[in-house]
Amino acid sequence: MSKSAARPNGIVFFTDQQRFDSTGVHGNPLELTPNFDRLAAEGTHLFNSFTCQPVCVSG
């Protein structure tokens, strides 16, 4: 096994101005994010994540 094959690649998405249900993987039926949904289905996906200091707040 080569050195590069032993280390997996990782991608972390940080989005702004997005509600918890705005992607298909989180229940939105409008198919607005097909590539994101595919990546989430094929890889490791965290359904619950939290921040101690959100960047924005909707009112």
End-to-end CA distance of the chain: 52
Report domain extents, the chain: 15-46
Q: What is the largest CA-CA distance in the chain?
A: 52
Residue 21 DSSP symbol: T
Whole-angstrom distance, CA of residue 24 vs CA of residue 38: 9
Q: Is the pTM of this model over 0.75?
A: no
How many whole angstroms separate alpha carbon 31 and alpha carbon 25? 9
d(CA 23, CA 31): 8
Tell me: the pLDDT tens digits for 29-58?
999 999 989 988 888 777 777 767 666 665
